[in-house]
Copies of this chain bind each other. A is one copy, B any other.
Amino acid sequence: MAAADDHAHHAKRWLVPPGSTPGLHDIDTRSTEGAPGSKAETEPVSDAMVVALGELQTRLWAEDRQSLLIVLQAMDAGGKDGTIRKVFTGVNPQGVRVASFKAPTPQELDHDFLWRINKEAPGHGELGVFNRSHYEDVLIARVDELVPEAVWRARFEQIRNFESTLSASGTRVVKFFLHISKDEQAERLQARLDDPTKRWKFAAADLDVRKRWDDYQVAYEEAIGQTSVHHAPWYVIPADRKWYRNWAILNVLLAHLHDMDPQFPPEEPGLDGLVVV
């Protein structure tokens, strides 16, 4: 299928090959490489891809045998919410499950770090979206020293094992790091401050996290390098330009869904010639 090949071709551009570690500093966050054209030329292409995504999700839902789990990670203002709004609005919400992970509750902290995550894993037929995820437990947990190094370091293997179990039950795990520059983050945070209708989104605590920018980049590099595997790959998406980010993510999702190739289920036997009275 030509379109599927095209998506797979593009998706490789942002893939972190298993066994490698991305050099985040060397990736151009303003890249528009491979895009169909300018913003105005690319957006209609993305709109059509959202429609295609919806059609494949209908098949996934009908088939009821596989799941797709999409993990979204980014620095603050990196575009997680915007990605969800732009990429998944237009997909039938029956069959989409978005889970947002905030700071763990006392009850969640009484369990292993994957306990609350597994409860939100998509069931067969579902397209699950994680807005933040178990990766926070090797990111903020590391940078803020919430747990000793031996604890967070052991989590790389625990995460690999967990995602391997998901994969064995029919869940494809596709992970995105929405990569913005530090300057872009400053612009976006300032824009929230300056727009009275967006100011409620601004949290002063985000500025403290911003001060640890370089530490987070190091933590992301290692987390991504340690956990990009064939059945659960990471993609680093240049995300300073939102239209390019959306187009890139849609390519990756369509490539995976075409590869999963969900089928409508067989009909019940004995329906031929049946008349409803």
Residues of A bordering B, CB below 8 Å? 54, 62, 81, 84-85, 88-98, 100, 129, 131, 186, 189-190, 193, 197, 199-204, 207, 210, 264-268, 270-271, 274-277
Contacts and interface: CB of A to CB of B under 8 A. Distances in A.
Contacts of A264: 197, 200
A210 B275 CA distance: 13
Given A62-B201, A203-B268, 4 more contacts: A89-B90, A93-B93, A93-B96, A96-B98
B94 A276 contact: no
B90 A84 contact: no
Nearest to A85: B92
A82 to B, nearest CB: 10
14 contacts: A85-B92, A89-B90, A89-B91, A90-B90, A93-B98, A94-B129, A190-B276, A197-B264, A200-B265, A200-B267, A202-B267, A202-B271, A203-B268, A204-B271
A95 to B, nearest CB: 8
Contacts of A271: 193, 199, 202, 204
Nearest to A187: B276
Contacts of A190: 275-276
Contacts of A96: 93, 98
Contacts of A93: 84, 88-89, 91, 93, 96, 98, 129
A211 B204 CA distance: 63
A88 B93 CA distance: 7
Contacts of A202: 267-268, 271
A267 B186 CA distance: 19
B89 A193 contact: no
A276 B189 contact: yes
B204 A268 contact: yes
Given A200-B264, A203-B268, A204-B271, A277 B186 contact: yes
Contacts of A210: 276
A265 B201 CA distance: 9
A267 B268 CA distance: 57
A273 to B, nearest CB: 9
A186 B275 CA distance: 9
Counting chain B CB atoms within 10 Å of each CB, the highest count among A89, A90, A100, A275 belongs to: A89
Contacts of A189: 276
Nearest to A84: B94
Counting chain B CB atoms within 10 Å of each CB, the highest count among A62, A84, A200, A268 belongs to: A200
